[in-house]
Amino acid sequence: MSSPNSDERVLTYAQAIAEAIQQEMARDPDVFVMGQGVDDAKGMYGTTLGLHEEFGADRNFDVPLAEDAMTGIGIGAALAGLRPIQVHQRMDFLLLCMNQLVNMAAKQSYMFSGAHAVPLVVRAVIGRSWGQGAQHSQAFHSYFMHVPGLKVVAPTTPHDVKGCLIAAIRDNNPVVFVEHRMLYGFKGIVPEEAYEVPFGQARRLTAGSDVTIVAISHMVVEALRAGHLLAERGIGAEVIDPVSLAPLDIGTIAASVRRTGRLLVVDNGWLSCGASAEIVSQVVERLQGESTFRVKRLGYLATPCPTTRPLEQIFYPTSRSIALAAHELVHGAGAPAWTIAQDDPREIVEFKGPF
């Protein structure tokens, strides 16, 4: 979908990914795509549709259920000078190639004093969507944040997902590229030309003076909805999308917390040793002795991911639980009771910036 002004052109998240890949494959013949189902009729949620027709089966091809072996092929291709994009339909199964990613891809440049590079992009899909349960709904981005040599990004808006993917493809380091399956249909303004969104720069999506809400991946959508609920109570929430998790832009987050005095981090994963813990600890280190603030975290409950819809509503943070947590941060434990009958029903139809 487009408008007369090219700067206002609207794409879905999936279309933005597809455009980034197509433009980079057209620009650089060393870029290729490999993954389960990337050349089928659905094209990985529409993100790889038609690439095998435009660029040939040697540059966009299906692979067997052999994550460890295929990652080894991707690393080898990258070491040989190519720029592979390896697509995983579920992040859960990156566990099968941890040695390849953590001990091989992440360390080659260091071990050889920069003489070798591994420009590998690993697209990993997270999230629930239709009750996929304990082994198909997990998000392990914090595992990879822990490893020097790996970059980890989890863009939320269509604008940022295109720019981040182009930046990842052009980067000479391995990048774990996190995509939430519930984001693929969301729309936003996306420029037609190729552009990069640099890693290590957080995105402030809304301004507010009462509480800072840092949300990761699809939790940004829930945080924006929670902002509507909070506004009805006179609470201004500043919603920040880190975009890049490694490197992590603590400066933008800390500056916001310095203003609001309250920090709520909402993760798309478990709390223990997770991204939320890292964000909070770095903000504390940055502001200790300078600013006093209150902190709370939300994320997966300490149990495997459930399958049924009623349990999912309890397990995953929602606009309702985020709004209630922020309300308590602002007013304290003795705050007047606030009952929210249901999650905010408003659709986040378009991400309009500023970008």
pLDDT 10s digits, 274-325: 999 999 999 999 999 998 999 999 999 999 999 888 888 889 999 999 999 9
Strands lying side by side in the sheet with 60-61: 60-61, 31-35, 83-88, 121-126, 175-180, 151-153, 244-246
Hey, what are 100's tokens? 């390849």
Nearest to 204 by CA among 165, 256, 152, 247: 256
Respond yes or no: is residue 67 known to be catalytic: yes
Q: What distance, in Å, lies between the first and last C-alpha atoms of the chain?
A: 19
In order, the DSSP letters of 162-178 are HHHHHHHHH-SS-EEEE
- Matching residue, tokens 């304990």: 134
- Catalytic residue, candidates 24, 52, 88, 136: 136
**Of these residues, 19, 24, 67, 278, which one is catalytic?**
67
Q: pLDDT tier at 338 (50, 70, 90 boundaries)?
A: confident
Q: Token pair for residue 182? A: 């519930």
Structure tokens at 338: 């606030």
The DSSP bridge pattern shows strands 237-241 and 203-204 to be antiparallel
8 is catalytic: no
User: For residue 251, what are its two tokens?
Assistant: 């400066």
Q: pTM score, two decimals?
A: 0.94
Model confidence over 220-233: pLDDT tens digits?
A: 999 999 999 999 99
Give the residue from 153, 143, 253 showing the smallest Cα distance to 203: 253
Q: What is the pLDDT of residues 5-25, one digit of tens each?
A: 446 899 999 999 999 999 999
Query: Looking up tokens 């095998």, which residue turns up?
Result: 52
